[in-house]
Amino acid sequence: MENFTLFTKMINQYIRLAFAHLYIFGFRYKGNIYMSIKDSNFLPFACTLDKASRGYGYALRYKPNKSIKIAMLNNATCICSEKYFDEVVANSKYNNGEIFEKFVTEYFGQRWTKDTVPFTKAGDIVVNGIHYQIKFEKATFATEYSLDRLA
């Protein structure tokens, strides 16, 4: 019960602080990489509470299970094969999340550059004037420490 209370508190803090309230979620499923657009109401279903590193308490992470992925497929777009995605990551200095963000940005006809703009200031991408946060499997939304510091 204590973890559920903390989970709910962290989700609510994140939503309250976030600039963007729409998300492009990436996930692996049956050999492909997909993206699916969801709003803040989806966060409790796709996120889990994990131990954060370096003494920052807990972390709110995007970790969809198989049933969530299957549910997301009804409005998902295939970005590429998992094999191609893994090859690009392996031959890059960027991680899975950064490469997914690059692929999504290019899908929308934009040029990707790595940035460090905080989630409280802007989305990761703007499409038709709408800000979106982009998250790939195992991505951290925020830590307990960072949310408390920002609150």
User: What is the rounded distance in angstroms from the CA atom of residue 141 to the CA atom of residue 103?
Assistant: 20
pLDDT the model gives residue 55? 81
Distance of CA 38 to the CA centre of its chain: 11
pLDDT the model gives residue 1? 56
* 21 class by beta-carbon count within 10 Å (0-12 exposed, 13-18 middle, 19+ buried): middle
Spatial CA neighbour of 75 closest among 101, 118, 115, 39: 39
- What average pLDDT does the structure give for the chain? 95
**Which residues in 49-66 are b (16+ Cβ under 10 Å) and which e?**
beebeeebebbbbbebee
pLDDT tens, position by position, 72-88: 999 999 999 999 999 99
Domain that holds residue 6: 2-150
Q: At what angle do helices 96-107 and 82-90 cross, to 10 degrees?
A: 120
> What total of structural domains would you count in the chain?
1
pLDDT tens, position by position, 90-101: 999 999 999 999
pLDDT tens, position by position, 16-60: 999 999 999 999 999 999 999 999 999 999 999 998 888 889 999
pLDDT tens, position by position, 100-122: 999 999 999 999 999 999 999 99
Order of strands, sheet of 125-127, starting from the edge strand that comes earlier in the sequence:
76-81, 32-39, 22-29, 130-136, 125-127
Model confidence at 4, in pLDDT bands (50, 70, 90)?
confident
Q: What is the pTM of this model?
A: 0.94
